Each structure stands twice: as structure tokens, then as C-alpha cells.
Chain A
Amino acid sequence: MIKLPSRNGHMNRPLPFSQRKKTGTKRRERSLLFVVFLHFCATFFSISTNCKLVTSLKPTDDLLNMATTGHNNLNAKLVLLGDMGAGKSSLVLRFVKGQFLEFQESTIGAAFFSQTLAVNDATVKFEIWDTAGQERYHSLAPMYYRGAAAAIIVYDITSTDSFTRAKKWVQELQKQGNPNMVMALAGNKADLEEKRNVMAEEARVYAEENGLFFMETSAKTATNVNDIFYEIAKRLPRAQPTQNPSGMVLVDRPTQGARAATCCS
């Protein structure tokens, strides 16, 4: 199985790279040393020679991350936050692909999805950031919620810890997120009624007090999954006064102050 280089009979000599050249080993060593020398010279002259910046590209309004409007089209960045294993990825998978996996791969950093919804006579294209749930990943979250038009804060109805985490996320978004952000609270795993540890009423009251809308969802049975995204789509403010002062899309219902609304179904 192993072919030995028997052609030249120099089997014990060092034969770098291949067996093609059989003479001049010393010269080769010397030239290699020279290559190494060049190599190290290059170190000192380092990488700093090519740092010109192309500045011709400028952001245009419709490239901004916030919910942006075109003709009856809206692009909206949406972020999912919540404790590890609350079911953030499962909710997204159900919404985007209509699938459910009993064991969803753990998310590292965040995963990106997009999905378009038709709401009345407009379409909303969600750019969804599904984030990692482990506490230490918390420090990465601002990158994902920065400029988001909407957030779904997910907890697991069988875990009070996850509800506590959800409240912390709400606080953080209130303090640091986009002030017009539409926020939804999702009590996921609603199919596990027999293991319930967080009462729906408690979550509902909390949501009302904090200007979120609340739904219990189940990615497994698909209960309320499309509904929660649909509800967000309806509530997205159609006008972004600071960024899109002109060319507003006609909206068939007045923008409800996202924070005040507390509808539940």
C-alpha cells in the first residue's frame, strides 16, 4: 500500500516536498534559507501599505436597517431574544419553513432568515435575527437589535427562569433599543400545559404594563406562530419620520402607538 521512493536509492536523505528532484540538496537548503530570510524581512515591512478606503459608496435611505418603506413594501429588521432553549429558533423555523424539529441545533452568535408577509395591501419583508440564548452571549445582542423595528422576546411557559430572563430583555430594549420598536412577548411551548410554570395571566399583565403585546405560542403545534408575526407586521409604524421624510406609503389604518397597544389574540 505504501509506495517507497525507491527510484534514486537516496531513501534516507531528506527529500523535501516531492521526489522529483534528486540532486542539489545543499543548494536547495541554501535557497530555502534565503526564502525564509525574505519571509522574515516581509514581517518587518508588514501589512500597512494598502489601507486606502473606497468612499464613493454612500448609504441611501432604502438601505437603512429600520423599517423602510417602498411602494407598499416594508423591510423590517426583527430580532428574537430570550433564554437558551426557550424556542427562538423553533419559532423562526416554523414561521419561515413551516417545520418543527424536536432537537433544533443550538444557535451560536445568531442566525439570519427572511420572510415576507402580505398585510392588507402591503407586504412586509422581515429580516429576522435569531440570537443565541446563553447568558454570556448577551454582550453580543446590541449588534443584533441595533436598528431593529421589532422584537419578539421569547420565554418557555414551563420555566420561570426563562420568564425572568425575558423581563430583563424587555428592560434592556426599553433602555437601549429603538424607541419605536414593536415588541411582542411570546410564551412558547404552550403545548406543554401539564408542565406549565408561568401563568398566562401573569405574563399578560406584565406585557400590558410594559407596552408589549402578548401571545402564547407553540412552535411544535404551530399555534399562534404566524399570528404573532402577522400582528407585528400590522403594528409596524409605516412612517419613519426621521429617516424617510418624504414618499410615505399610504396606510389603510392609522399607526397605533406601538408601545400603548396591548391586544392579545
Chain B
Amino acid sequence: MYGTQSQRDLSLELPISRQSIHARRAKITVKFQDLYGFTVEGNVDDANILNEVREKVRQQGRAWWALEASKGANWYLQTHVSSALKSSLKFTNLVNAITLKKLIRKGIPPVLRPKVWFSLSGAAKKKSTVPDSYYNDLIIAVEGKVTPATKQIDHDLPRTFPGHPWLDTPEGHASLRRVLVAYSFRDSDVGYCQGLNYVAALLLLVMKTEEDAFWMLAVLLENVLVNDCYSNNLSGCHVEQRVFKDLLKKKCPSIYAHLEALEFDVSLVATEWFLCLFSKSLPSETTLRVWDVLFYEGAKVLFNVALAIFKMKEEELLMTQYVGDVINVIQNTTHHLFDPDDLLTVAFDKIGFMTSTNISKERKKQEPAVMAELDQRLRRLNSSNMDANSGLT
């Protein structure tokens, strides 16, 4: 009874199926659609949680409207904690900045997301530095061009959230293709990296227009995330993984020690999180709540969230005896995190304080080691090629 009710209640304009999250779910009782139209398969509890989340989203919407009414529309566009502190120390600005930070951690209402993300992430600023026709000109200029990147993009289009009623249509494929292809020409060092397909797809669903999704992708790769996360040998991603391991050691020492004993490398699960920004692992609203904070507070948020996933399941993780068990615990957790607050409360209240400055320092520390490792590997591989060639002749 509850199941059918929630089914009706939860269906919005965009229906979708999300294989990656729910394919592995053993006991399927109900199917329903989440806020962004992804078809979710779960039990009745999950459906109830999603209903509660919908109600919370509505309340959060009311809070935003109320603030808009009291502070004026777009009040949040001029505030930023650091700039407010640096510049005038004006109380109102500061209060606004703090209010905004708290508010964003509680979630941006889906209707406001396109506008708020676009301004607070810096995408609007980035766009304003080029002529208005930039995106359209780029699309026209690259039309019909074939590069290794475009071939790979074409290959991945039907493999990006397959079954999604909009993304997995000719129209959806064409939109996603234009965004990814345009970006591959904007930054040829990145070109196309698998993982960006999921990120761009979710950006399209939120931002509604291709052009805004394109600029969000640009600001994400060029300003929000660490450099070289997606380019050539993913060196940025390697750096992030090392930083993450160190943080886990500091923040969750017993989990770290246990996993170490199992010879479980946390990158085995965390690499996908950092490259897809959780879009392939967490339910859609939870992913977008992470992105709300990501676009405002920066890439350190990914560490908070990744640490929180481990922290939440500390007891269970400490009882695991095999690598497979660890992965099952983690996947079961991420796939059923339908209530974003469960995750974000741990991420921001229980992990302890981390600043972007500290994280940057940690990255700087890891960079040489990563470069040396990648370099050494490349050299070894080349020498192995030479050996093999000389062996054949």
C-alpha cells in the first residue's frame, strides 16, 4: 500500500533507471522514482525515507524563500566567507556568508540549484569573460570533426545511465554529446575522460540547458577540482587518493589499521567516487547535495564525504574479514543513502575540521611521490616493450 502511494507521489517529469546503484540489490520490493526521475529499486523503508526527504526538500525551499523575502532576491550571490572577511568585515555580509554556508550544507532546493550553482561555483564569472556566443560558436566549429575523444564519447553515450528516459534518448544523447565534445576541444589535455560522461549527464539534468551544463563542467575541471584529475595519466586523481589515505589514517585510525591488515587499498572503492563525484554510487538527491557543498566550499568536500562513508560503518567494517566483505559493506551503504542528511551530518560534524589550506599542503606533499611513481612505471613498461621486441627478433 505504502509502496504504491510513494510510487505515485514520487514520480516527477523525469523517469530513469540507475543500474549502477540498484542492480546489485538482492531483495527488491518496490520501484519508485526519485526527485531527478531515476528509477529506484528498494524496500518500503527506502521509499518512506525518500518521501521524508521530499518533505525536507520542501521545507528547505520554504527557508530559502523566506530568506529571499527578508534579505532581498539574490542576496546569496554577493556573499562569500573569505571575501567578506578579507574586505570589509561588514557584519551583514559576514552573517549572510555564515547563513549561506549553513544553508547550503542543508541543501539547495532543486528549483534554485541551476541559479545558485551557476553563480556560487564561479561558472557565471567564467562565462562572462568570453563573448556570449562562445558556446554556440564552439559547437558549430567542432561539428562533424572526428577525434579519438569524439569516438570514445560516441561509444559511451548509450552507456551513460542507460534506461534513463531522457538521457537515454536520441535527444539526450545529442545534448550530452555536444557538451562533452565541446569540452574536449576547449581543453585538449583533458579531451574526454570516462567518468565525465556521468558528471556531465547529471549536470544536464540539473542545469536544464546545455550551455549552463557546459560552463559548470568547465568551472568544475578548471577551478573547483584539483588539476589533472582527468588528464593524461590521472595524476591529480592519484594525488587525491594518497591524500585520502592519509586522512583516513588520521581521522579513522582503527578502520585504517583494519583495512591495512586485510591488504585492502581504499582506492579500490574511492577512485570511482572521486572521478564520478559520487554520481555513480550515491542516490541522485544525495549526490546533488554533495555537489551543493562542493561548488561552494571546494574539492575538500569530497574528502569529508568519502571519510564519512567509512566512518558511518565503522563497526561493520571492523568486523570484516575479507576484501569482498569490505566492498559489500561500502556498496550497500552508498547505494542506500537515500537521506542526504545522514551522510552530510557525519561528513561535516563528525569528521573534524579540515581546511582547504591544509588539504592543499597535503597535496603538495604527495605530488612528487606520485610523479616519481608514474614516471618509474612508464620507464619500466618501456623497457619491457624493448625486451619483448628484442626477444621476438
Q: Which residues on A sit within 8 Å (CB–CB) of B72? A: 12
Interchain nearest-CB distance for B356 vs A (Å): 10
Interface residues of B in 78-97 (CB under 8 A from A): 81, 85, 91-92, 94-96
A16-B95, A105-B162, A140-B271 as given contacts; A43 in contact with B234, CB under 8 Å: no
Q: B99 contacts A63, CB within 8 Å? A: no
Q: B194 contacts A108, CB within 8 Å? A: yes
Chain A contact residues: over half helix, strand or loop, or mixed?
loop
A29-B95, A109-B272, A139-B374 as given contacts; A47 in contact with B352, CB under 8 Å: yes
Interface residues of A in 137-151 (CB under 8 A from B): 137-140, 142-144, 147
Q: A36 contacts B94, CB within 8 Å? A: yes
Q: A105 contacts B161, CB within 8 Å? A: yes
Contact string, A51-67, partner B, CB cutoff 8 A, digits 1/0? 11111111100011100
Interface size range of chain A in the complex: 35 or more
Q: Which of A14, A57, A132 contacts B257 (CB 8 A)?
A: A57
Chain B contact residues: over half helix, strand or loop, or mixed?
helix
Question: B178 contacts the other chain (Cβ, under 8 Å)?
Answer: no
Q: B71 contacts A84, CB within 8 Å? A: no
CA separation between A53 and B152, bound complex, in Å? 44
Q: Which residues on B sit within 8 Å (CB–CB) of A140? A: 234, 237-238, 267, 271
Query: Which one of A167-175, A222-230, A232-240, A246-254 is at the B interface?
Result: A167-175
Q: Which residue of A lies closest to B370 (CB)?
A: A139
Interface residues of B in 251-279 (CB under 8 A from A): 251, 253-254, 256-258, 260-263, 265, 267-268, 271-272, 275-276
Q: Which residue of A lies closest to B72 (CB)?
A: A12
Contact string, B348-373, partner A, CB cutoff 8 A, digits 1/0? 00001111011000000000000000
Question: A33 contacts the other chain (Cβ, under 8 Å)?
Answer: yes
Q: Which of B20, B155, B253, B257 contacts A105 (CB 8 A)?
A: B20
Contact string, B373-393, partner A, CB cutoff 8 A, digits 1/0? 010010011001101100000
Query: Which one of B33-41, B129-137, B288-296, B318-326 is at the A interface?
Result: B318-326
Question: B98 contacts the other chain (Cβ, under 8 Å)?
Answer: yes
Q: Which residue of B lies closest to A2 (CB)?
A: B65
Q: Which residues on A sit within 8 Å (CB–CB) of B237? A: 140
Question: A114 contacts the other chain (Cβ, under 8 Å)?
Answer: yes
Q: A106 contacts B160, CB within 8 Å? A: yes
Question: A48 contacts the other chain (Cβ, under 8 Å)?
Answer: yes
Q: Which residues on A sit within 8 Å (CB–CB) of B374? A: 139
Q: B261 contacts A59, CB within 8 Å? A: yes
CA separation between A6 and B20, bound complex, in Å? 47
Q: B194 contacts A53, CB within 8 Å? A: no
Q: Which residues on A sit within 8 Å (CB–CB) of B327? A: 112
Q: Which of B194, B271, B380 contacts A84 (CB 8 A)?
A: B194
Question: B249 contacts the other chain (Cβ, under 8 Å)?
Answer: yes
CA separation between A51 and B238, bound complex, in Å? 22
Q: B358 contacts A136, CB within 8 Å? A: no
Q: Which residues on A sit within 8 Å (CB–CB) of B172? A: none
Q: Which residues on A sit within 8 Å (CB–CB) of B258? A: 54, 57
Question: A216 contacts the other chain (Cβ, under 8 Å)?
Answer: no
Q: Which residues on A sit within 8 Å (CB–CB) of B249? A: 51, 53
Q: A143 contacts B159, CB within 8 Å? A: no
CA separation between A10 and B258, bound complex, in Å? 56
Interchain nearest-CB distance for B99 vs A (Å): 4
Q: B267 contacts A143, CB within 8 Å? A: yes
Instruction: Name 28 A/B residue pairs within 8 A (Cβ), A-sorted.
Output: A3-B62, A3-B65, A3-B66, A11-B70, A19-B66, A28-B95, A32-B98, A36-B81, A43-B353, A46-B358, A47-B354, A51-B249, A53-B256, A54-B253, A54-B257, A57-B260, A57-B261, A106-B159, A110-B272, A132-B194, A133-B194, A134-B152, A136-B193, A136-B232, A143-B267, A143-B268, A168-B385, A172-B384
Closest A-B pairs by Cβ, 3 of them: A109-B271, A175-B384, A57-B261
